Every structure is written in structure tokens, then in C-alpha cells.
Amino acid sequence: MSSSLDSEGDEGEEELRDGGVPFFVNRGGLPVDEETWERMWRHVARIHPNGEALAKEIRGATDLPKIPVPSVPTYQPTTTIPQRLEAIQKYIRELQYNHTGTQFFEIKKSRPLTALMDIAKEMTREALPIKCLEAVILAIYLTNNMAGVERFPLSFKSHFSGNHFYHIVLGVHSGGRFGALGMSRREDLMFKPLEFRTLLDLVQEFEGAYRGYWHTLRKIKIGQYVSHDPHSVEQIEWKHSILDVDKMSKEELRKELERHTRDMRLKIGKPAPPSPVRDRKNSMGSPHKGPNSPIRRISRAERRYD
């Protein structure tokens, strides 16, 4: 059971694990260069129960079925917010969870929102399987034009059998109710419909899911509301509040989550910093990298999710 939950990295405590196994990040952009491609298959051969036989079978096949490309959701004017969120989650599911051990899109959390949105557009074009941090970026992109829907990162650190596991979803708030969008191997650790009255209710829903897998929830990190401006040069605030939930009483947790909810409301309406006039792609860096970019394993100093 310990090898089946999503793992994430964070500064100073990164496990560099995808379900208990070290994983790689594709840093060379798309299409995947030969070195990254071959490394991915070697990794698959190591981590899969059937090892090299499976890799050879797939790579040698000439009649593999064509994989359908999911369509980005579109809506009628009468489509409600809950229905739109469900359609977005359905699209994220259709991309499927990435079990290869190589994350296809490099997500640097310190990049400005506009650069992360460029990567989200690339996800919709390539339609490749994704992990939980990629799903959060994609969900932000797909909800940018939904007025009245506020979005915030919500990450979890859990403990099971001597190991720590990490996961992240995108919290959503609209019409006085909370919910979540995301990607996970576990059905109850991603989408939550827009029906939770308070942030505490939403957090406790996830906590109950973790208990179902015999995981103890140790820590949650909650960010601020994310700008709806896809050209914003703001950075996402990933951890406005860091709560050691295993050391807090329910009342203490309730008060802290109420405080965080007030803090998020205060951000609404604050003007964002102006976008620079110069070419953003040159100044911020493109998500695409040259074929000679170095490929390396994740260092403990970097933050990686899933």
C-alpha cells in the first residue's frame, strides 16, 4: 500500500519518489530527445514487475492502438460552474495518470504565471499523461476564464510505514462552497465537487480519504488565490499557510483555516503588478529547451510534486 500514493518534493524534505520509486523530469522539452526517451524505457524496465520484457514488447509492437486525444472542454452559456468544473476534471482524467517514472513537463514553481500557462497550453496540445503538479497548472489554465471561481494550491504531507508521501490539488471556491480539481492514482485524492461549506470541511474530506489508506496526514500547505490573468508575471503563492495538522486540535485547525480563508478574500480586488512590455518569452524563458540541454535527476534542493 505504501507504494501507491502520490509523492511530491519540497525543500529540505524531498523524497524524489513516485509511489516509492525515484523518478525523472524531462528537462529537454518536446519532442522528447533520444537520451531522455531511452532513459525513460530503462527506468520502466527497472520499476515494472515484468521488467525488460514489457518494454521490449511495447517497443517492438507494430499494431499498437491509436490513443484518442481528449478535447478541451467547451461550454454553453447556460452551463453552471459545478458542471464546468466536472467537465475540466473529466478532461484531466482522460489525459490519464503518468506511470512511466518520467514527468514529461518540467514545472518550476518559481516561474511567473504567464510562463506556467504556456506550459499548460502545451499540455493540451500534446495530450500526454500527467502527474499531480502538472494537473494543478492545467486546472488553473482551464479555469482562468471562469469569473467568480477562485483557485488556490492545497498540498498534503502524509506518513505511512516509515515513509512520507506528498500530493497537491487545486482548491476551488465559488458561490460560498469549496471543492478541488486534480490528478491522483487514488479516486478520492483528486476531484471534490463544489459542495463543501468551509475550507475545514474540504480538508477533513481529504483527511478521511488518507485514513482510508492508513496514512496519517501530517502537514497541509495552502496558497493564496491565483490571478485570473494568464499574462500575469506574478508567482503563484504556494504556501501562505503551513499547518502541522497532526499536532493541532480540531478547534485550532478550524481557526487557522478560517484565518486563511479571510486572508484569501482580502487578496481579491488587489491590483496585480503590470506585465512587462518587452517580449516575455525572451525575458522569462521558454518552456521549450534545446536538444543539448543537460538532463539530470532531481536534486534535493528542488521542489518536485508527485
| Residue pointed to by grid coordinates 514529461 | 104
What nine digits make up the cell of 101? 517514472
Which residue in 7, 184, 227, 232 is the catalytic one? 184
Which residue in 43, 164, 167, 215 is the catalytic one? 167
Angstrom CA distances, 69 to 2, 73, 183, 239, 289, stand at 32, 12, 18, 34, 24
Give, to the nearest 10 degrees, the angle between helix 132-143 and helix 81-95: 140
Q: Is 74 exposed, middle or buried (0-12, 13-18, 19+ CB in 10 A)?
A: exposed
Which residue in 7, 43, 132, 173 is the catalytic one? 132
239 contacts 156 by C-beta, under 8 angstroms: no
Rounded to whole angstroms, the Cα distance separating 116 from 14 reads 22
294: alpha, beta or left? (left if phi > 0; alpha if psi -120 to 50): beta
CA dihedral 200, 202, 208, 212 (to 10 degrees): -160
Q: Identify the CA nearest to 245 among candidates 191, 211, 289, 207.
A: 207
Q: Identify the CA nearest to 171 among candidates 221, 130, 207.
A: 221
Taking the CA atoms of 98, 303, 188 and 19 in sequence, report the sign of the dihedral they define: positive
What nine digits make up the cell of 266? 482580502
182 contacts 196 by C-beta, under 8 angstroms: no
Residue 132 is a catalytic residue: yes
Beta-ladder partners of 294: none
Catalytic residue annotation: 132, 167, 184
